[in-house]
Structure 1
């Protein structure tokens, strides 16, 4: 199966998993409901892990395809950082969702009633999210520097033998894999520091953002075609 076909199948499965997360009772009131929600959150994270495993394997054969990413829309590609979404976007999403939910429940929260959702993050959770964001920014910068170094040496590709080009492509593939590893680690780290309900809400919000950008990108690409 080509990666393009794999991506379409993977994307459809993501929609199905997110729909199941939406339908799960939140907050979970019974142990059975908590077990179901925990299982769904685990499946969603594993689904992202499967994507990056398959991507890494395919990129070793044709890394440049993942920078062109023909299976994505023009809008999606314009937002890419080294072949995918920028990891720090996840933190902006958590802060935005937390603010929206806090405002919708502000009276209850100020009266001491805990909602348990992303609008009810504890001071400790905010601190850990902030620390994780700082760590992720540094790692993003390190990987960006590695790509810049690779690009600075791009003129070496012209005129070098085939074996030399293959070495350059292997280095680029390794940079892409580091970027994807950071994307997956960011998802896993946030899910771990959030409660079960908050993790489910974060995964749904992240997928909704992905769905929305893709839908708008498809619309724009269709308008641009003659």
Structure 2
């Protein structure tokens, strides 16, 4: 039976692919002298960011039903999971992506002496933009550390008094072959795990919130056309990683 959540994710990936085509078209047809074009780009950027928000809303709905299924999310490939942080991309990755794309574009211009870096290109970030990105990176890394510390506390709670006591009680029942007692303890297990599930849901909410906050902050630093180029790079990386991961998982299972 097909997992409806995985189906939703596949639909989202399809929308991301369509959005990528729209972004590429907009970039290829950008007219820097047309102010209306900037307005059109901003609308496209808002739509693109909205798709990422849609993805995190989907994750939030899943977390309310079964937060454990998000560590890692069942729809991620092994490759994607290997690069994951709290069930998704690490927020500061958005900043690394910006710097990497900028570097790639600068190197491309040096390789082609007929090319000219323009203010439309991520290879020409201004000093003020670089300073803003640097400040954003420091803030983001600080917030990531706080969330990681919260996650560490949740993980440590796997061996807290309530868990150890419950483990001991049920283990004694198993040794005594008290199957009825073991089955009757399901309610206590749920009560013991409930606060940990709530804590995990909170960590996921904070992590996804920081992911969205960082994405929007990066785009706000950029000009509209730079924002489009950044979103193209983000979508391409997201889609390619998933495709490569699917291929790796298929090879592993064959």
Q: Report the TM-score when normalising by structure 2.
A: 0.82
CA contact (8 A) 1:17 1:44 kept: yes
- What is the deviation of 1:27? 4.8
**Structure 2 residue aligned with 1:145:** 149
Q: Distance in 2 between matches of 1:94 and 1:122?
A: 13
Q: After superposition, give the CA deviation of every residue in 1:185-220 in whole Å (9 maximum; x if it has no partner).
A: 010000111000110011110111111111111111
Q: Distance in 2 between matches of 1:31 and 1:114?
A: 17
Larger RCO (CA within 8 A; separation ≥ 6): 2
**Structure 2 residue aligned with 1:92:** 96
Secondary structure at 1:64 match in 2: helix
Unaligned stretches of 5+ in structure 2? 168-187
- What is the deviation of 1:70? 1.9
Pick from 124, 129, 135 the counterpart of residue 133 of structure 2. 129
- What is the deviation of 1:108? 7.9
Secondary structure at 1:84 match in 2: coil
Matched, 1:19 2:21: yes
- What is the deviation of 1:3? 2.1
Secondary structure at 1:168 match in 2: helix
Q: Distance in 2 between matches of 1:28 and 1:66?
A: 43
Mean Cα deviation higher: 77-86 or 160-169: 160-169
CA contact (8 A) 1:27 1:116 kept: no
Mean Cα deviation higher: 47-56 or 174-183: 47-56
- What is the deviation of 1:40? 1.0
**Which structure has the larger Rg?**
2
**Structure 1 residue aligned with 2:60:** 56
Secondary structure at 2:67 match in 1: coil
Unaligned stretches of 5+ in structure 1? none
Q: Distance in 1 between matches of 2:24 and 2:56?
A: 24
Q: Distance in 2 between matches of 1:69 and 1:79?
A: 13
**Structure 1 residue aligned with 2:217:** 189
Q: Report the TM-score when normalising by structure 1.
A: 0.92
Q: How many residues align?
A: 224
Distance change >3 Å, CA 68–CA 115, structure 1 → 2 = closer
Secondary structure at 1:61 match in 2: helix
Aligned structure 1 segments of 4 or more residues deviating by more than 4 angstroms:
106-109
Q: Distance in 2 between matches of 1:27 and 1:131?
A: 31
